[in-house]
Amino acid sequence: MVIKFLSCLSIFIIFLQCTLISAQQATPPAPPGPTNITAILEKAGQFTILIRLLKASQLADQIDTQLNNSNQGMTIFAPPDNAFSGLQSGTLNSLSDQQKVQLLQFHVLPTFLSMSQFQTVSNPVRTQAGDTGPGEFPLNVITSGNSQVNISTGVNNATVANAIYTDGQLAVYQVDNVLQPLALFGAPVPASAPSPVTSTPKKSPVADTPTSGNEPASPDASGAILLAINGLVATAGIVFLAGIWL
């Protein structure tokens, strides 16, 4: 009887020690020193494109500095390499350096969000890319009561997978798509605010000549004046030449 009890007790103690040991092994010690987003992503693997972009834009250093100085923490959505390959070819190259920074900042929230905190977050969520107005950088979190979290940008959607890193200050979640903000990939802003150029009833001949499309309306007008002056000078020149010949 006593022996049976003792053996049960010892089995229980062994079980207890095993669970304690496995619990200790499950939580690896936090790396010493300030958080290093590059090292976190390198360790996770499959994030070479994101790492390259973060380094090239110096955003990796900014994120580390911001984390060290912030008490709000930070949440990062990390698309792996195959998510970048899913982009239409040439997409990244078509972006200016500033737009690349905006694209990356769109994947960074200036607050720490645990997986369960996504359920109660209020939309649109503000990212480091800027304002959340129509055509800007709105990001909407869609949850369905269970633990699943999706993100909708107004251009595309992504599913948030489990955290590849979290320490209560920084959370890094893998997402299955590059988050494409409206400001960079959305359709042109609808005619809520018509520009003076499109509202003029008839185009002048000058306006019909192809322009780069990036230029505001005023250079066209000054171009017309310049053309008129050139014309005048040319006419004067012809008159002058005619005068010589006659």
Ligand X SMILES: *[C@@H]1O[C@H](CO)[C@@H](O)[C@H](O)[C@H]1NC(C)=O
Applying CB under 6 A, which of residues 10, 24, 30, 42 lies at the interface with ligand X? 42
Q: Examine residue 70 and tell whether it contacts ligand X (CB under 6 A).
A: no
Q: 185-218: b or e for each residue (b if 16 or more CB lie within 10 Å)?
A: bbeeeeeeeeeeeeeeeeeeeeeeeeeeeeeeee
Q: Which is nearer to ligand X, 132 or 159 (CB)?
A: 159
Q: How many helices (H) and strands (E) does the chain have?
A: 10, 6
Closest residue to ligand X using C-beta atoms = 144
Applying CB under 6 A, which of residues 12, 14, 31, 34 lies at the interface with ligand X? 34
Q: Examine residue 44 and tell whether it contacts ligand X (CB under 6 A).
A: no
CB–CB of 182/136 below 8 Å? yes
Q: Which is nearer to ligand X, 60 or 109 (CB)?
A: 60
Report which of 154, 156, 17, 161 is spatially closest to residue 80, judged by C-alpha positions.
Answer: 161
- Cα–Cα dist 149/160, whole Å: 5
Nearest-approach distance from CB 219 to ligand X, in angstroms = 36
| Interface segment toward ligand X; rule CB under 6 A; list 77-85, 143-151, 224-232, 238-246 | 143-151
Q: Examine residue 91 and tell whether it contacts ligand X (CB under 6 A).
A: no
Task: Name the strand (E) or helix (H) holding 33.
Answer: none
φ, ψ of residue 81 to 5 degrees: the values are -55, -40
Residues of this chain that bind ligand X (CB under 6 A): 34, 36, 38-39, 42, 65, 68-69, 142-144, 148, 150, 152, 156-157, 159
